[in-house]
Amino acid sequence: MTRTRFRASSPAHCSMCEHRLTATEWNHFVSMAEESLHSEILCRDCMEAHLLLCRECSSRYTADGLCESCGEKAYGVAC
């Protein structure tokens, strides 16, 4: 029996390199980037090259180095 794997694509393209994101890449971006960054869609390579991981939790990519959640909890800052 032969198994065939299908790669679903999304209509999204990376804002920097114009790479067409697959559904998996799109889900990765949405899960790793802050909501404020969702207007600028980035592929994994561009996200890692141009954004910073949150210095507190290291689980979200952010433009300034501190995600909204950690900013509110640790510093009482509304980002």
The per-residue pLDDT for range 9-65, each reduced to its tens digit, is 567 899 999 999 999 999 999 999 988 888 889 999 999 999 999 999 899 999 888
Does 73 have pLDDT greater than 90?
A: no
Residue 9 confidence (pLDDT):
56
* Strand bridging mode 9-13 / 20-22: antiparallel
**What pLDDT score was predicted for residue 61?**
93
* Cβ atoms 21, 13 nearer than 8 A: yes
Question: Can you name the residues that pair with 55 across neighbouring β-strands?
Answer: none
pLDDT for 75 equals 62
User: What is the CB neighbour count within 10 angstroms for residue 47?
Assistant: 21
| Stated pTM of the model | 0.71
Residue with tokens 């501190």: 66
Alpha helices (H) in the chain, listed in sequence order = 23-32, 44-50, 68-75
DSSP annotation of 13: E
pLDDT of residue 42: 92
Per-residue pLDDT at 71: 84
Per-residue pLDDT, 43: 92
